[in-house]
Structure 1
């Protein structure tokens, strides 16, 4: 028959109390360490704010932080980052932080100046200027002769009729007599019983009820050259009108007032 040792309750209680005491000490140690870590983390931001440089009242907007690639940890505030390895290409230019002077940019390489011409070569002679064409002489400006005086004994035209009037002076009478063969009609204007000569008579030649020519007789006698036919002559002097029928070939058709 198996014999069991007697139950010792006192020994078991002592072991349980010892285990509980050890667990309590471990918990208190963990709590104390956690409190110390929390206090240390609270002191680190305060120290970083105390050492931060003074910035301007209106600071420039900070550039956005570069995106952190996947798998990397963002840097902790206040911790120093290791230097990046040198790259083969130049990094892109960034805007300097406020208060830091921007580095001077490198000056562009000097441009090569053209080589001077050798001193022994004479300079090229300038091309001769083209010879200007000689100016053409302008023809002299001719002014038309002035019209003859109204009472000058010259031939004039009125429509299809040519005429010449005069005969007040003796020389005019002789000139008209010599020109009479060139005309096919002749008119003489007089007044009174003595047949005094008249001038400034308004003359109109009518044919078939239509006016063919109209002119003012500057003298008592008018030589007329008109197309062949018969004409009705209407002469007006000082408001009084006389009429006569004259055919080409008729000479010395007299009209008296």
Structure 2
């Protein structure tokens, strides 16, 4: 038979042996710690019993401290107390000596006289309290500003209807002259008449339409109206005594006449 080579420990076997050796050391360490803990637990009750004071079930009554006799000093704590010496009655203070008959007793010092308050002089009048301060008179409130009354309906003044400024008049000759002088400040003018002779009308209900929407609405107090409106084309709807007339006008158009 062929001979086998001698057994050589492999690396894994060495690792296993090292682990077993570590475990045995750990077990020994744990056993030693356990034994120490048990010994400490056994010593703790014995030490507590040794330190507990012994209490006597029948304590002796406390001896009251000796009360010093009258005329003696109380002993100082910590010092040896000498035997108490009593003072004989003869050593006590003698009573106050009474004066012999026929001898006047010495006068005792009289208390000093107390100073009496000086009376107030009769010529000084009593103090009079000052009168309370008078309240300042209330200032009159300023009169409320009253806004001026609006001009009469037929007054020839400039008015505002939405974005349109207008002035109407022209019944009298002076009004026609005044409107003629202001015509350059406006970009449109309307004239309302009736009949073949072109009689002037007033109290005409005027509405300016643009794009199917109402822009301005007013009542013409005279036959002629000057208007200042944004540039563009407008549809004028004028109503007089229930009859409505329409006309399309644009800015910078002058004397657009509407006849009934």
Structure 1 length-normalised TM: 0.51
Aligned-pair distance for 1:130?
Answer: 2.0
List runs of 5+ in structure 2 lacking aligned partners.
Answer: none
Going from structure 1 to structure 2, the CA distance change for 1:63 and 1:94 (only over 3 Å counts) comes to farther
Aligned-pair distance for 1:167?
Answer: 0.3
Going from structure 1 to structure 2, the CA distance change for 1:256 and 1:10 (only over 3 Å counts) comes to closer
Going from structure 1 to structure 2, the CA distance change for 1:188 and 1:36 (only over 3 Å counts) comes to closer
- Does the 8 Å CA contact 1:59/1:98 hold for their aligned counterparts? no
Aligned-pair distance for 1:158?
Answer: 1.4
Distance 1:42 1:95 in 2: 89
Aligned-pair distance for 1:146?
Answer: 2.6
Q: Deviations over 1:68-98 (max 9, x none)?
A: 9999999999999999999999999999999
Going from structure 1 to structure 2, the CA distance change for 1:190 and 1:95 (only over 3 Å counts) comes to farther
Which of the residues 190, 208, 211 maps onto 1:208? 211
- Does the 8 Å CA contact 2:160/2:166 hold for their aligned counterparts? yes
Of 128-137 and 98-107, deviating more is: 98-107
- Does the 8 Å CA contact 1:188/1:255 hold for their aligned counterparts? yes
Distance 2:101 2:8 in 1: 80
The question of 1:53 aligning with 2:85 is answered: no
Distance 2:202 2:51 in 1: 131
Distance 1:220 1:189 in 2: 5
- Does the 8 Å CA contact 1:201/1:235 hold for their aligned counterparts? yes
- Does the 8 Å CA contact 1:205/1:213 hold for their aligned counterparts? yes
Going from structure 1 to structure 2, the CA distance change for 1:112 and 1:175 (only over 3 Å counts) comes to farther
- Does the 8 Å CA contact 1:234/1:244 hold for their aligned counterparts? yes
List runs of 5+ in structure 1 lacking aligned partners.
Answer: none
Aligned length: 256
Q: Partner of 1:17 in structure 2?
A: 17
- Does the 8 Å CA contact 1:48/1:78 hold for their aligned counterparts? no
Distance 1:47 1:103 in 2: 84
Structure 2 length-normalised TM: 0.50
Distance 1:195 1:104 in 2: 145
Aligned-pair distance for 1:115?
Answer: 15
- Does the 8 Å CA contact 1:168/1:197 hold for their aligned counterparts? yes
Q: Partner of 2:122 in structure 1?
A: 119
Going from structure 1 to structure 2, the CA distance change for 1:178 and 1:21 (only over 3 Å counts) comes to closer
Distance 2:212 2:18 in 1: 167
Aligned-pair distance for 1:226?
Answer: 1.4
Going from structure 1 to structure 2, the CA distance change for 1:168 and 1:123 (only over 3 Å counts) comes to same
Aligned-pair distance for 1:221?
Answer: 0.2
- Does the 8 Å CA contact 1:60/1:98 hold for their aligned counterparts? no
Q: Deviations over 1:209-238 (max 9, x none)?
A: 110111111110001111222111100111
